Structure 1
């Protein structure tokens, strides 16, 4: 029995204190704030091809570099801002991913101006409530689902990038649209209780 299992956690988070804190406090908690959801989607896009712990270690620096992931500010970024970001060692320095973040901010604002709630729209793919799963081992969870494929397709149709079905499923797990804490994890029941009724 590994140390993480003996403590009743999902096996994926290991023992890195940053990862454990993320697992214990954030992962799987239902997120309804439209701005926070956009930030997480951007971070998941930046993760493409990398380990999530890499993003966690850079998250605070990225928040600072991207003006707190305020869509209204990020949407106005131009070439000067892109050059500033490409020179910032605190972030993942990928022009394609930076451009995707800026583009995503503009789409987010356009949706809001059209009276669409980004949070309600995303949550509609799971019927507005978290999907509850019953995996005894985190490795039993899928890497993508029909819901993540549908959301990815819809995001791409809107013009978002770095949002394939696998990235989107990781996003859905993280923001609590699906409770994929393994059943032996102490957070499984806690996160289930957060689902609420509405």
Structure 2
């Protein structure tokens, strides 16, 4: 990598945990969450270029309209995480976002309503206390599933909410 050339992980490091109300960016973060299941956020985030290329630059309407031949095309991309269930989940989640936008005005409004419109702060003494699931993420995941989302279990949902800044976990003792 050339000096001064951004790393493919720069967007991940620059975005993680920053509150966003942009539906497209929320869709991107949800997609990273979908694909990270069984991997890591960093590994899935490293595929951003492949996601953008294969999912119409993450245009929610275009992704929602994708067909089975699009899934086959994506499965043939060697740069992609080639899991047909996750690819189909991304399409289904785009369709769910469109439905949520009609009902709530935006995906952002729907999601941020779970935290009262402001980041939800959790404070922990030690890093080992930070959970990967909370009662909030369980409730949000359950509601998202009712709205047609898939691959949104409580762990993925918690990480998605942290990535998008809806949840902030603060650790007081960062030493030791």
Q: TM-score, normalised by structure 2?
A: 0.86
Corresponding residue to 1:138 among 127, 137, 152: 127
Query: What is the Cα deviation at residue 56 of structure 1?
Result: 2.1
d(CA) in 2 for partners of 1:179, 1:108: 23
Q: Is the 8 A contact 2:32 2:41 kept in 1?
A: no
Gaps of 5+ in 1: 1-16, 186-198
The number of residues matched between the two structures is 168
Tell me what 2:45 maps to: 56
CA 1:147–1:115 in structure 2 vs 1: closer, same or farther (change >3 Å)? closer
Q: Select 2:55's aligned residue among 54, 59, 66.
A: 66
1:76 corresponds to which of 62, 65, 79: 65
CA contact (8 A) 1:111 1:118 kept: yes
Q: Output the aligned Cα RMSD.
A: 2.0
Q: Does 2:145 correspond to 1:160?
A: no
SS of the aligned residue for 1:108 comes to helix
Assess, with a 3 A threshold, how the Cα gap between structure 1 residues 181 and 27 changes in structure 2: closer, same or farther: farther
Higher normalized helix content (fraction of residues): 1
- Name structure 2 gaps, 5 residues minimum: 1-6
TM-score by length of 1: 0.77
